[in-house]
Amino acid sequence: MQTLIGENGYKGLKGKRVLITGASSGIGAGMARVLAREGARLVLHYNRNAEGIERTMQSLRDYDGQAQMLRCDFRQLDRLESFFKQAWSIYEGLDALVNNAGIVTKTTALNDPFGEQFSDTLKVNLQAPYQLSTAFAQACISAGQSGAIVNNTSIHGQATCEWFSAYAASKAGLDAMTKVQAVEWGRHGIRVNGLAPGVVPVERTQTILSEAKMQQKWHDQMPLGRYGTTEEMGEATAFLLSDACNWMTGSILTMDGGLIARGNYPGRE
């Protein structure tokens, strides 16, 4: 039997050209570190967090990885075409796209009656990935090559709570888009899958999620009894992009410590 993941890591990733959006911090930075370790050549997108992308770039030097960074504000959708062309040109093509960039919007519909925040959230979390994925697919087809896309969705696309109407709508839409694009582009050898993280502490949430009260609140609801890590999300992304998943497309990989499976049932001994 052919080994897909051996002592040298995830098969098929070494030398692959990968664009990761939103790589200046959090899960995107974790994805960059794991893929750099696997020998991928990276194009790292950021918007406002210049210090963060510099930290990400610095962290990749331990792996002697090739990486370039590009800035773009995904709210300005008319700039996505030129941004993608720049990203494609750096290594004279791309083998994979990771749509990780997103904004977490917390507001009720009554506090956003005209949908300004709703619209901004969908621009960044859904419209931008749509346009980038389409540009990637068109470029791959024109080049006569296969490709792989990973969309960073969320468990909020499957089950959600108060204050998340915009965010949950964007992620549920991204789940659906993942499946449709997988169907449309499979005949061209382009795979499209989603990664749905659960509670993963990042820079903006580390302090509050480290509080004992918050840890107990969340950990008790997770069968595995802990938060996820950005590196674990990176490992999952590497898996989805690797040859281990050559026959996997249109799927959403949920990584949440069992939170969704557990449901909102009272505890039982």
Return d(Cα 28, Cα 25) in angstroms, integer: 6
Return d(Cα 105, Cα 118) in angstroms, integer: 8
User: Burial of 6 by CB count in 10 Å (0-12 exposed, 13-18 middle, 19+ buried)?
Assistant: exposed
The pLDDT value given to residue 265 = 81
Q: Which tokens in the block code for residue 49?
A: 């967090």
Per the annotation, the verdict on 227 as an active-site residue is no
The pLDDT value given to residue 216 = 93
The pLDDT value given to residue 4 = 46
The torsion angles phi and psi of 173, rounded to 5 degrees, stand at -65, -40
pLDDT bucket at 72, cuts 50 / 70 / 90: very high
The residue assigned the tokens 């204050």 is: 163
Neighbours of 123 (CB within 10 A): 16
pLDDT digits (tens, 9 = 90+) for 5-25: 545 589 999 999 999 999 999
pLDDT digits (tens, 9 = 90+) for 240-253: 999 999 999 999 99
Q: How far is CA 160 from the centre of its chain?
A: 18
Q: Which of 9 and 132 is assigned the larger pLDDT? A: 132
Fold annotation for 9-251: Rossmann fold (3.40.50)
The pLDDT value given to residue 163 = 93
Q: Which of 10, 130, 167, 227 is catalytic?
A: 167
Return d(Cα 69, Cα 165) in angstroms, integer: 32
Size (the chain), residues: 269
Domain ranges of the chain: 9-251
